[in-house]
Amino acid sequence: MRKSIFVFLAILFQAGIIATAQIESSTPVNQLVIIANHAGPVISKDIYGHFSEHLGRCIYEGLWGGTGSSIPNTYGIRNDVLFALRDIKVPNLRWPGGCFADTYHWRDGIGPQEKRASIVNTHWGGVTEDNSFGTHEFMKLTELLGCDAYINGNVGSGTVREMAEWVEYLTSGSDSPMTRLRKENGRDEPWKVKYFAIGNENWGCGGNMTDEFYTNVMRQFSTYLNNYGENRLYRVACGPSDFNFAWTETLMKDGASRNRFQGLSIHYYSLVDGWNNKGSATGFSEREWFQTMRANLQMDQIIKGHKAIMDRYDPQKTKGLVVDEWGNWFDVEPGTNPGFLYQQNTLRDALTAAIHLNIFNQHADRVKVANLAQLVNVLQSVILTRGDEMVLTPTYHVFRMFRVHHDARLLNIDLRCEDYAFGDRKIPSISASASVDKDGKVHISLANLNPNDQITVSCPVIGDTFKRITGEVLTASEMNAMNSFEKPVAVKPADFKGYNYKDGVLTVTMPSKSVVVLEMTK
């Protein structure tokens, strides 16, 4: 192990990246070498994006109460949720699905709310969708959040014309039937729309297509998604889920297809024991904790696989990988509608968030957008609501702590650490990434995946020295600690003092099952 760190440092030395190789005479078991004077690619802030689907209580109750609601709101959007989301600096928000997107006909959701068509949400609980939250309400939400819109178009049951006209309605400033319609509905100026997806999971709920069929359909739809005025659409082609590399190969190998999108989406949900044994979000043993972490870490392999294909056809890295659905998927909370996918959120989910965000940071050269599923009241949410109450989940706190990486530049690291073993399986006990921001501050985010033991990691920080260090930690005494409506702040970040910085080496002792973010200022 010691030899490989020497090799790593020697390479950096020869490349002129570091002037002196600082390495302790006997390499500690847990060592994270950080090269502080050689910034890599920008970590797109859009890696920290979110997803809001017409599913369960995400939109209705979670985000939207309507202007007549007794819950304080701005244009119908809950103030408590809005203000909490501003604090994590949501960079982009995906809408209206998910599977719902390929059943959504945008014209149902414009015009006077009382006249909008009611439909049945066939994917999610069979409930009636009154379309009171539609295009104008979503765009207002993005404006209030100060984030980019990520709209997912309907390929599965929609038409090319319908999708093309939605883009025109949203973004055109010229006189046309669509822009006149928008103006009649109260919006004179076109909006800016950054991300636009051409279907969702078209291999499944989005039309059960084959990769070749979808590739042709995507080429057709994309042809009519125009850039109006100064708006530039980042078109996202529907990619596969998990390890389905063949789908990515099909989309990437065809030059005519490659020319029609800027991003390629992949989905991956972490499951404890497969789709039939998802397990409880809150009642779990160490075995399920371990299985979850193990599943989370697979995201790295999945990205590497898709990235290798993209690198072959797009070595200049002009196309982004868009991980627009990720997170833990557990059984719904007992007594809730199975179609609503409502799950609680514990310290385990906080570790999941840290692991994923560190992985996305590390792949900043290719991963340009990622969206946690989902924002409020569905799957691994950052916020839960009950009536007029709101709870910030452990996952929320990780997104707040990791804000420091938004648009910062990735730092090269080399991590060697002990394993966390359970039964006859093992995984690395530490997850990490580091970045330098525009002010020269270095941020290191770490997670100790071991729920039993604290861990000390020695971090030689090479190429620069620092005067001030601060830190935050998120942990709890129980693996399944959570924020409930009865105890809403049981899990919250605290100041972290478990570090020492001497002779250019930062030594950090993390509690068991914790997430730590450190800031180093020159």
Closer Cβ to ligand AHR, 99 or 370, answer by number: 99
Give dist(CA 410, CA 442) in Å, integer: 10
3-state secondary structure 462-480: ECCCCCEEEEEEECCCCCC
Give dist(CA 517, CA 208) in Å, integer: 42
User: Smallest distance from the beta carbon of 102 to ligand AHR, in angstroms?
Assistant: 9
Q: What would you report as the CA-atom Rg of the chain, rounded to the nearest whole angstrom?
A: 23
Binding segment (CB under 6 A) for ligand AHR, from list 10-18, 96-104, 180-188, 509-517: 96-104
Query: Would you count residue 377 as binding ligand AHR (CB under 6 A)?
Result: no
Strand partners, 151: 95, 196
Q: Where are the alpha helices (DSSP H) in 314-421?
A: 347-362, 394-401
Residue 461, helix vs strand vs coil: strand
Binding segment (CB under 6 A) for ligand AHR, from list 94-102, 359-367, 444-452, 477-485: 94-102
User: Smallest distance from the beta carbon of 325 to ligand AHR, in angstroms?
Assistant: 6
User: Smallest distance from the beta carbon of 512 to ligand AHR, in angstroms?
Assistant: 31
User: Smallest distance from the beta carbon of 387 to ligand AHR, in angstroms?
Assistant: 24
Closer Cβ to ligand AHR, 369 or 379, answer by number: 379
Is 145 in contact with 85 (CB distance < 8 Å)? Answer: yes
Q: ω before 146 within 30° of 0 (cis)?
A: no
Q: Is 255 exposed, middle or buried (0-12, 13-18, 19+ CB in 10 A)?
A: exposed
Positions marked active-site: 201, 325
Closer Cβ to ligand AHR, 345 or 431, answer by number: 345
Give dist(CA 511, CA 454) in Å, integer: 4
Per-residue binding letters, 345-374, with ligand AHR (x by CB under 6 A):
----------------------------xx
Closer Cβ to ligand AHR, 34 or 373, answer by number: 373
User: Smallest distance from the beta carbon of 276 to ligand AHR, in angstroms?
Assistant: 16
Binding segment (CB under 6 A) for ligand AHR, from list 95-103, 157-165, 208-216, 345-353: 95-103
* Amino acid at site 181: L
Beta strand 31-42 pairing with 442-448: unpaired
Closer Cβ to ligand AHR, 153 or 460, answer by number: 153
Give dist(CA 516, CA 45) in Å, integer: 20
User: Smallest distance from the beta carbon of 309 to ligand AHR, in angstroms?
Assistant: 22
* Amino acid at site 371: N
Strand partners, 93: 50, 149
Residue with tokens 């379309």: 131
Closer Cβ to ligand AHR, 200 or 385, answer by number: 200
Burial 346-374 (b: 16+ CB within 10 A, else e): bbbbbbbbbbbbbbbbbbbbbbbbbbbbb
DSSP state of 211: H
Give dist(CA 510, CA 449) in Å, integer: 10
Tally of CB atoms within 10 A around 387:
9
Binding segment (CB under 6 A) for ligand AHR, from list 91-99, 109-117, 161-169, 356-364: 91-99
User: Smallest distance from the beta carbon of 284 to ligand AHR, in angstroms?
Assistant: 21
Number of chain positions touching ligand AHR (CB under 6 A): 10
Among residue numbers 187 through 246, which ones bind ligand AHR (CB under 6 A)?
200-201
Among residue numbers 379 through 398, which ones bind ligand AHR (CB under 6 A)?
379
Among 12, 63, 81, 99, binds ligand AHR (CB under 6 A): 99
User: Smallest distance from the beta carbon of 390 to ligand AHR, in angstroms?
Assistant: 21
Question: How far from each other are the two terminal CA atoms of the chain, in whole angstroms?
Answer: 31
Closest CA to 269 of 351, 200, 329, 341: 329
What is the secondary structure of 265-308 as a DSSP string?
EEEEEE-SS-TT----SSS--HHHHHHHHHHHHHHHHHHHHHHH
Closest CA to 365 of 54, 41, 135: 41
Among 49, 97, 134, 153, binds ligand AHR (CB under 6 A): 97
Closer Cβ to ligand AHR, 122 or 185, answer by number: 122
Among 211, 325, 349, 472, binds ligand AHR (CB under 6 A): 325
Closer Cβ to ligand AHR, 239 or 460, answer by number: 239
Hey, what are 217's tokens? 């359909």
User: Smallest distance from the beta carbon of 101 to ligand AHR, in angstroms?
Assistant: 8
Among 98, 109, 279, 451, binds ligand AHR (CB under 6 A): 98
Closer Cβ to ligand AHR, 48 or 342, answer by number: 342
C-alpha 214 chain-centroid distance: 25
Beta strands in 85-225 (DSSP E): 92-95, 119-120, 128-129, 148-153, 195-198
Closer Cβ to ligand AHR, 296 or 429, answer by number: 296
Per-residue binding letters, 51-80, with ligand AHR (x by CB under 6 A):
--x---------------------------
Q: Is 39 exposed, middle or buried (0-12, 13-18, 19+ CB in 10 A)?
A: middle
User: Smallest distance from the beta carbon of 320 to ligand AHR, in angstroms?
Assistant: 19
Binding segment (CB under 6 A) for ligand AHR, from list 93-101, 155-163, 217-225, 473-481: 93-101
Is 321 in contact with 303 (CB distance < 8 Å)? Answer: yes
Residue with the closest Cβ to ligand AHR?
98
Interacting residues toward ligand AHR by CB under 6 A: 53, 97-99, 200-201, 325, 373-374, 379
